[in-house]
Homo-oligomer: A and B are copies of this chain.
Amino acid sequence: MKKKILLGYNFDRAGFKVLEENFELIYPEKQYFQKEELLHLIADADVLVPNFGYRTDKEIIDCGKNLKLIANFGVGYDNIDAEYAASKGIAVTNTPNSVLEPTAELCFALILATARRIGFYNSALRTQEGLRWGLYNNLGTSLYGKTLGIFGMGRIGQAVARRAIAFGMNVIYNNRRPLDASIESRYNAKFVDFESLLQLSDVISINAPATSETFHLFGSNAFSKMKSNALLVNVARGSLVDEKALIEALQEGRIGGAGLDVFENEPKISPELFDLENVILTPHAGTKTVESRLEMQHEVVGNILGFFAGKQISRVN
């Protein structure tokens, strides 16, 4: 009998077709399985590719009597209780390779769009009133020569740093621990403590995972320490930023602007952000490209096949 893969989300079938030879694939008819449905279906599944709308928690994991692998579609796995899964001998994998470049790309797109006011220009030019074109009207900020502070200098943070040096920016970073000197010198990047990152950066980029330690790390206290024209860009997870405090800081001009791809209550965005023209909003689009979606499915397939073949995979627990 074929092993069963339960797909929590209605993933593109072509991307997982290659699995059908050795596995039975169970897809939702709608966009995703409601949690109640999933709790029944997971009873005899060997593999779960989880949904994002609710957490793969103890309750779900306990129902997975045959569950051997939770293969996440994405690099951030805060949607899974990976520690509890480990305690029951269930592996959790993620997709760090396929998300790396597209996420760094979007991160830098937001850095540029925020500094150079791309969203504001693009919207204002399309209004009836238009926009004043004069030399000194509606000026943005150059990035060249400025300091980028990267919070979370993992692989994505480093891929952002690589781009930043081509833009003539200085790179500082804060991380759980300093990187090897060889990596630091590649990006001419300097380790600083969190407080210094806030104080010295012209642009702060959040590239760290959502954990209990990073929850609301960027709140009113942090914003009060940032430069008054500093820009904040978040392509990591909404929970790292206190969205209410950010809105206040932006409304009161305590920071210069924000580029936000992730939010505390996705897909809901605090409506106050819609009224701020120094804010760029994107819909969790770090990997929202044709190429990324295919490559991520390819990486999930590799993790599933590799797991059962006893090969090296992107296991996180």
Contact surface of A with B, Cβ cutoff 8 Å: 9, 11-12, 31, 73, 101-102, 105-106, 108-110, 112-113, 115-119, 121-123, 125-126, 130-131, 133-136, 138-145, 162-163, 165-168, 266-267, 269, 274, 280-285, 288-293
CB within 8 Å for A110 and B106 given contacts A123-B123, A136-B293, A285-B140: no
Q: Which residue of B lies closest to A112 (CB)?
A: B109
Name the residue in A73, A125, A142, A281 with the highest tally of chain B Cβ atoms < 10 Å from its Cβ.
A142
B125 and A289 within 8 A (CB): no
A144 and B101 within 8 A (CB): yes
Which 6 A/B pairs are nearest by Cβ-Cβ distance? A166-B166, A109-B112, A119-B122, A101-B144, A142-B291, A133-B267
How far does the Cβ of A253 sit from chain B's closest Cβ, in whole Å?
16
How far does the Cβ of A161 sit from chain B's closest Cβ, in whole Å?
10
How far does the Cβ of A120 sit from chain B's closest Cβ, in whole Å?
9
Residues of B within 8 A of A109 (CB): 109, 112-113, 116, 118
Which of B108, B122, B166, B289 is A281 in contact with, Cβ under 8 Å? B122
Q: Which residue of B lies closest to A131 (CB)?
A: B283
A116 to B261, CA, bound (A): 12
